[in-house]
Structure 1
Amino acid sequence: MEINKLYLLIGVVFILFPINKFFAQNITLINAGISGNTSLDVLNRLSSDVIPFEPDLVILMIGTNDLLNTNNLLGYKEYESNLVEIVNALRERCIKILLLSPPPVDEVYLYQRHDKRKYKNRPNKMLNKISESMKRLVDREYVKFFDLNNELLVKGIPYHNKDKVIMNMKNSGREDGVHLTPFGYRLIANMIAKYLKSYNWVLPQMKILCLGDSITYGKYVLGEGTSTGHTYPFFLKRKLNQS
């Protein structure tokens, strides 16, 4: 009889306090993306938009505007120098860093929006150089690199007016070629979550700050600039808090 009462009590506890509550990760995601940002912009706002939040991990995706935005080009050498300064500033504060190479672009649409003559090389070839810079900064303890650019390329993305990942006329009614769709943001969030878990970089109660430009910001999708809606910080938060 006493055993039956114990079982009943346990059942009531699990109804009132579901078991997933006991194992909830409670991971916080902060969206610190700003549209149009270059690596210099990110470097200049570390003291205001990153350090005060005391994140455990910063996920940095930056470089598209440095090399491809013809209204604000910085060039590769300056980009690399800024990237090194950003990483060193965070590492000095014992903040872990995951570097993400920016996704490839649909060059057809990019050339419609920017002056092709201002590019010294094909846009996607220039983006590959960002991956090379990021790889050189990897260390065992504080800095990891996930080649998001290559992961999408091997999936055949972008595929002009065919793929579901990068905004185009067919999937979003936009002649864009740079920003991602909600489907695309969910896809990359799942990739990032899997990568972080493979290195045991996901811990309960941790605070993750997503830093970057309009791709991190989530331009043109629900919840832009936040960790809600259809931004990649939202999908990443949901994925990491599932286990």
Structure 2
Amino acid sequence: MVNAQLLSLVPIAILLAGNSRTEGAGEAQPVKKRRYIQAVAFGDSLTWSMRAPYGERYADHIEAELAERLGPDICVDVAACGAGGNTAREALPRVQRDLIDYAPDLVILNLGANDSGREKKEVFERSYRAILERLRTETDALVVCETIPVLDEEWHLYRDRGFARKAGGLNRYLEAFSHSFIRRVAKEHSSLVHDRFSIYHDALREAPSLRSRLIRRDGVHLTEEGNAYFAKTLADLVRDRVLERQRREPANSEEWLGRAEKNATLQRVLAASSSGPALRAALLKNEHVVRLELQQARSHARRAACSNAPDLRTTAARIEALAAAFMATQRMLNPATANAGAGSRKWALERLQGLSDVPGGLRQLLE
């Protein structure tokens, strides 16, 4: 049983309190239960940040910026639920697992870049509305709708497409296809708009060098500096609204821990983790699904770790650390850039610091 396996790996000395970890010998002592914010970044490859190492993804920077603004008494988790290439229509089937099941307080919705080149406008709008409607009826989350910073007129592969020329350029097309709609539908749903397109172009007029610093040469994806830049503008936008809505303690910690322990993908990965080759295969088969389901296990465990029950916190901390390390190891094994691989390895090792009896296969892959 996975519960027995997980519990057998729990080190008595390690505790997790939201975004911080305390290590040391001796018996775990009760601590104050901390309040909790669950955010989900849901979207496409801009949300996924596949070219960045763990620790420098868009979601990582959002989490750090929110934690700084909200203070040490609030646990913050930002689940990175982006899927490369997704249109709104393709993202819609993921809504239950990658949004609703988190019971989120904050949702950051980024879709439209892929739609602009592959979908009809009415299909994009219908699918985007359907996502917002499910969030409205099945959660009480504060929703932030994001625009895309840019489809660079010189760098992006769509630059010579007929639809771009007809519209007078890629960014005019983007405005007509998705951005005007996103601003309008966000207002209809009383959602916030993180207008990265306007933020970027306003800043670019003052500092043209931002182009190469924030945007990769593919003309759409963000650099690590770009992830950090827009995470700051997002955190500034939502801070007060999040504090207004932030009202709950992490109730039902046992339930969230149970969800993490029963996560089927975590079970499969743990079962393979005694062997490096077996673990590699488990992480890379159906890679995107594995990543998203491990993300869910990690976030559920982090929520449970806000409990003031020492044994529960310790167990949840163990699961959170292993799920995080498995995710980062997956990126290390199949990196989009050299920096993504090396940085993710470093991040995985940091997550495992202080844990005893790290699975042998995981140690092998990280050596």
> Hey, which of these two has a bigger chunk of helix by percent?
2
How far apart, in 2, do the equivalents of 1:206 and 1:64 lie? 36
Equivalent positions of 1:102-141 (< 5 A) are 102-111=148-157, 116-119=161-164, 120-121=166-167, 122-129=169-176, 130-139=178-187
How far apart, in 2, do the equivalents of 1:97 and 1:195 lie? 12
How far apart, in 2, do the equivalents of 1:30 and 1:92 lie? 21
Distance 1:105 1:141, change over 3 A: closer
Equivalent positions of 1:190-201 (< 5 A) are 190-201=232-243
Question: 1:61·1:99 contact (CA, 8 Å) conserved in 2?
Answer: yes
Q: Deviations over 1:95-143 (max 9, x none)?
A: 32110111112121114x6752354422211222322212222359852
2:78 to 22, 29, 32: 29
Question: 2:204·2:210 contact (CA, 8 Å) conserved in 1?
Answer: no
Q: Which residue in 2 is equivalent to 1:155? A: 203
Q: Which residue in 2 is equivalent to 1:165? A: 214
Q: Which residue in 1 is equivalent to 2:9? A: none
Question: 2:194·2:237 contact (CA, 8 Å) conserved in 1?
Answer: yes
Distance 1:159 1:117, change over 3 A: farther
Distance 1:141 1:123, change over 3 A: closer
Question: 2:153·2:159 contact (CA, 8 Å) conserved in 1?
Answer: no
Structure 2: runs of 5+ lacking an equivalent? 1-23, 25-30, 32-67, 251-291, 293-334, 348-367
Q: Deviations over 1:172-210 (max 9, x none)?
A: xxxx11111100000000000000014345748799x9x
Distance 1:116 1:156, change over 3 A: same
Question: 1:106·1:159 contact (CA, 8 Å) conserved in 2?
Answer: no
Q: Which residue in 2 is equivalent to 1:188? A: 230
Specify the code of the residue in structure 2 equivalent to 1:196.
V
2:129 to 63, 84, 88: 84
Specify the code of the residue in structure 2 equivalent to 1:34.
A
3-state DSSP of counterpart to 1:154: helix
How far apart, in 2, do the equivalents of 1:36 and 1:138 lie? 23
**TM-score of the superposed pair, with normalisation by structure 1:** 0.65
Judge which range, 198-207 or 75-84, deviates more.
Answer: 198-207
| Percent identity between the two aligned chains | 22
Q: Deviations over 1:36-60 (max 9, x none)?
A: 0001111121122221222122100
3-state DSSP of counterpart to 2:92: helix
**TM-score of the superposed pair, with normalisation by structure 2:** 0.44
How far apart, in 2, do the equivalents of 1:126 and 1:78 lie? 16
Judge which range, 132-141 or 91-100, deviates more.
Answer: 132-141
Q: Which residue in 2 is equivalent to 1:66? A: 115
Question: 2:107·2:143 contact (CA, 8 Å) conserved in 1?
Answer: yes
Structure 1: runs of 5+ lacking an equivalent? 1-15, 169-175, 210-217, 230-243
Distance 1:206 1:37, change over 3 A: farther
Question: 1:108·1:160 contact (CA, 8 Å) conserved in 2?
Answer: no
How far apart, in 2, do the equivalents of 1:114 and 1:140 lie? 32
Specify the code of the residue in structure 2 equivalent to 1:76.
K
Q: Is 1:54–2:96 an aligned residue pair?
A: no
Question: 1:106·1:160 contact (CA, 8 Å) conserved in 2?
Answer: no
Specify the code of the residue in structure 1 equivalent to 2:105.
D
Distance 1:163 1:179, change over 3 A: same
2:87 to 13, 24, 38: 38
3-state DSSP of counterpart to 1:222: helix
CA RMSD of aligned residues (A): 3.8
Q: Deviations over 1:141-188 (max 9, x none)?
A: 8521121111101111795995310013xxxxxxx1111110000000
Per chain length, whose mean CA-contact separation is higher, i.e. which structure has more relative contact order (CA < 8 Å, sep 6+)? 1
How far apart, in 1, do the equivalents of 2:214 and 2:249 lie? 29
Distance 1:76 1:43, change over 3 A: same
Judge which range, 46-55 or 135-144, deviates more.
Answer: 135-144
How far apart, in 2, do the equivalents of 1:219 and 1:146 lie? 27
Question: How many residues are matched?
Answer: 189
CA offset at residue 33 of structure 1? 0.3
